[in-house]
Chain A
Amino acid sequence: MFAYLLRRLLYAIPILIGVNLLTFALFFVVNTPGDMARLQLGAKHVTPEAIERWKYEHGYDKPLLLNKAAEGSAQFTDTIFFKHSAAMFVFEFGKGDDGRDIGTEIRNRMGPSLAIALPVFVIGLLVNITFALLMVFFRATYLDLWGVVLCVVLMSISGLFYIIAGQYFIASLWKLLPISGFAGGINGLPFIVLPVLVSVVAGIGGGSRWYRTIFIEEIGKDYVRTARAKGLSELRVLFRHVLKNGMIPILTGAVVVIPTLFMGSLITESFFGIPGLGSYTIDAIQAQDFAVVRAMVFLGSALYIVGLILTDLSYSWADPRVRLQ
């Protein structure tokens, strides 16, 4: 078990290096610091001096990989790659364009992001599995048929529509909940309800249909027939056998997203004014703050890899036949 975990962690390192090199290539080689400066300064203020000053202020005035002017090990360390890309391995993200430390910003914003993303994940999972089990219980009847049709219809509606309609009807027209904003602690509860509600509803279509497919596939297997032949009730078959065996494909999809919940949702947070990592990212994209985007790319990848490892571990928990080697 421990050896397996260690090997998975070691395997994560080349992937993180790959991500790092890719972002380095995207942000510094394809798009040179000079280009970044031009984009940031705008067409009016582009002079060679202004570009140099911008590069100096952001620490982008060094050579990319090898600093020939420096001595000894500084030849490698006093470069853009070492200062801005390699430093991310120790979660040293530097400063954004607004001068704030990105690491501090990330720590402060994880809480609000989680406050939305965690309830959405848990409630969404429960609601979707419930609907899927209901459809499977009534399978091959009109209830199931219309359930699937409803799922396809719900899936076809743009996520933006759910948010805009939710904000307009629930918050603006009927004034049931605040339209946007955030507060810490228990006071924040009314602010959380609407974004969570909207996100859960938006996910019902795709989610329930996906779980229904899993359960339907499971129900066609021989052990289910055996269980029925033993005289078990349909409900018992569904909950004790189908749900349990359907856990593996469900876990594949669900566990991998748990760590990335920290990243929040770009759109939901931005519409509801939640000061989380999602709105941080979206602001950075809109302000073309490359340092923040780079940091978020690295953080997202690292969390995704943690998710992959967790998925493997959860397999052995859900299915004792899967042995970790």
Chain B
Amino acid sequence: MSTIFMDIQPVILWTDGLIFALLAGVLVLGMFVVIGLLDSLHYREKLADSPADKPQYSIEVLSVFDALVGTLRTRHEKTYSAPLAMHLYAKEFVERDGTTVRDYPRLQFGGAHLRDAAERRPDLVRRSAIGLAQGLAAGLLLLGVLAAWQARQAKLSLGEWLTRWGEGRLGWPGRTLVCMATLLLMLAGVLAQLAAGYHVFGTDKVGQDVLYITLKSIRTGLVIGTLTTLVTLPLAISLGIAAGYFRGWVDDVIQYVYTVLNSIPGVLLIAAAVLIVQGYIESNPELFDNAAARADVRLLALCLIMGMTSWTGLARLLRGEALKLSTLDYVDAARAFGVSHTRILSRHIFPNVFHLVLIAIVLDFSGLVLAEAVLSYVGVGVDPSMHSWGNMINGARLELAREPTVWWQLGAAFTFMFTLVLAANLFADGVRDAFDPRREAGR
């Protein structure tokens, strides 16, 4: 064994790096999706003192995610506090030993279990260590389950499978997958351990935990990314392929429509449409019973509008591809056999442009998440009452001028947005390299 290791020279192929990136992208995306899904199961709690025969429900709409994070949602401080702090950001008059002094008051929840500031550092280290250990344990458990299942499938002994896993000879990147997952689990473990006793990303102006708001924003980002893409796809696919396949006046009409839409600056079209929806909501308040429903309608409208404006790029691409494909011999042959247009389109054209659609989906997704922040800044994004990274950035950007600087809100929002977009971009790269035949040239 060891002689083999002596004789080899490590070689990193391009594909290895790409698989690495692809897996990291998939895992991080998966984690975001899980949080987003948990946050999408909404309910209203029954009020404690409501009669049993006629139950009354709280006006606050909660989600399963809120229930899972427990007290993170309700632990409000008075105002700003720095990440992992145990004192408030601003000085106040506090009672101490019978006299009133001006000092930084202790936080109600952040580090409330500590007796004095000297205990903070050891406590942070201890919690982080516990979190790391828990993450590691969860990773090992994952490996164990995977090994037991896969070894049975491949009819190998457990030891044999694990050896193959350790040497990376599985035929699929199992080693990378488990290592990455373990790293992520360890990170999550540390975050969870620290969040139980502190405000990991500090608190915002009204004292809400920034970690909680950031996690809640994940759903908004995902909804905008996926819903908009779902609006875009049918338009882009049907119109793009129809224009390229049927040509003639169909092509002229569709080209005209997308040149018109394309020539209008996107932000302005979105702004105009959002202003209109806003006007509609305001003049018909009876249709929406609570603030959450209003915010939701606006989010839905935003996705629709962004979808309506962003299908043109993909449609143009598909048109060109369909133009090329429709002149090929096998399409001619199908026509000569009297195969119907619908069948030619669905069996011969669409499968051959599918890779372009797939690449466009993932690429658009990351662009849309970034666009949300910009639109919220312009004032035509999601409802200001909704948790979103754009709203967080918009609310916090003026606070940089404070002394000392309040940076943690911006930091948290940018970090999470960056993580999601980077994961999506890496995934998109992986998908493109896997499906786009033209990209062989460089390697």
Chain A residues in the interface with B (C-beta under 8 A): 14-15, 18-19, 22-23, 26-27, 30-31, 35-36, 38-39, 43, 139-140, 145, 149, 152-153, 155-161, 164, 168, 172, 216-217, 219-220, 260, 263, 266-267, 281-282, 285-286, 288, 290, 293, 296-297, 300-301, 304-305, 308
User: With A15-B263, A39-B278, A296-B265 in contact, do A158 and B442 touch (Cβ < 8 Å)?
Assistant: no
14 A-B pairs besides A288-B275, A297-B269, A308-B263 with CB distance below 8 A are: A15-B256, A18-B257, A38-B283, A39-B278, A152-B425, A156-B421, A160-B414, A161-B418, A219-B441, A266-B378, A285-B271, A293-B275, A301-B263, A301-B265
Q: Is the CB of A281 within 8 A of B268?
A: yes
Complex CA gap A220/B377 in Å reads 43
The 8 closest A-B pairs by CB, nearest first: A220-B441, A18-B260, A156-B422, A300-B265, A216-B442, A301-B263, A304-B263, A156-B421
Q: Is B312 in the interface zone, CB < 8 Å from A?
A: no
Chain B: residues with Cβ within 8 Å of the partner, total of 49
A203: min CB distance to chain B, Å: 13
A220 / chain B contacts, CB cutoff of 8 Å? 441-442
B418 / chain A contacts, CB cutoff of 8 Å? 156-158, 161
Complex CA gap A235/B417 in Å reads 39
**Contact stretch, chosen from B79-87, B102-110, B393-401:** B393-401
Q: Which of A30, A159, A285 contacts B276 (CB 8 A)?
A: A30
B42: min CB distance to chain A, Å: 28
Q: Is B317 in the interface zone, CB < 8 Å from A?
A: no
User: With A35-B279, A38-B283, A140-B443 in contact, do A158 and B414 touch (Cβ < 8 Å)?
Assistant: yes
Q: Which of B263, B397, B441 contacts A217 (CB 8 A)?
A: B441
Question: What are 19 contact pairs spanning A and B, CB under 8 A?
Answer: A14-B256, A18-B257, A23-B264, A27-B272, A152-B426, A153-B422, A160-B377, A160-B397, A160-B414, A164-B410, A172-B401, A217-B441, A219-B441, A266-B267, A293-B271, A296-B268, A301-B263, A301-B265, A304-B265
B366 / chain A contacts, CB cutoff of 8 Å? 156
Q: Is the CB of B442 within 8 A of A145?
A: no
A14 / chain B contacts, CB cutoff of 8 Å? 256
Q: Is B62 in the interface zone, CB < 8 Å from A?
A: no
Q: Is B380 in the interface zone, CB < 8 Å from A?
A: yes
Complex CA gap A182/B55 in Å reads 62
Q: Which of B378, B429, B441 contacts A285 (CB 8 A)?
A: B378
* Residue of B272, B378, B414, B429 with highest tally of chain A CB at under 10 A: B272
A172 / chain B contacts, CB cutoff of 8 Å? 400-401
B412-443, CB < 8 A from A: 414, 417-418, 421-422, 425-426, 429, 438, 441-443
Complex CA gap A177/B268 in Å reads 31
B227: min CB distance to chain A, Å: 20
Chain B residues in the interface with A (C-beta under 8 A): 14, 17, 21, 256-257, 259-260, 262-265, 267-269, 271-273, 275-276, 278-280, 282-283, 366, 370, 373-374, 377-380, 393, 397, 400-401, 410, 414, 417-418, 421-422, 425-426, 429, 438, 441-443
A139 / chain B contacts, CB cutoff of 8 Å? 442
B21 / chain A contacts, CB cutoff of 8 Å? 149
User: With A220-B442, A297-B272 in contact, do A286 and B379 touch (Cβ < 8 Å)?
Assistant: yes
A304 / chain B contacts, CB cutoff of 8 Å? 262-265
Q: Is the CB of B400 within 8 A of A168?
A: yes
B13: min CB distance to chain A, Å: 11
Q: Which of B264, B283, B443 contacts A35 (CB 8 A)?
A: B283
A305 / chain B contacts, CB cutoff of 8 Å? 263
Q: Considering only CB atoms, which chain B residue lies closest to A289 in the complex?
A: B275
B418: min CB distance to chain A, Å: 6
A267 / chain B contacts, CB cutoff of 8 Å? 374, 377-378
Q: Is the CB of B279 within 8 A of A36?
A: yes
B426 / chain A contacts, CB cutoff of 8 Å? 152
Q: Is the CB of B422 within 8 A of A160?
A: no
User: With A14-B256, A35-B279, A35-B283 in contact, do A300 and B378 touch (Cβ < 8 Å)?
Assistant: no
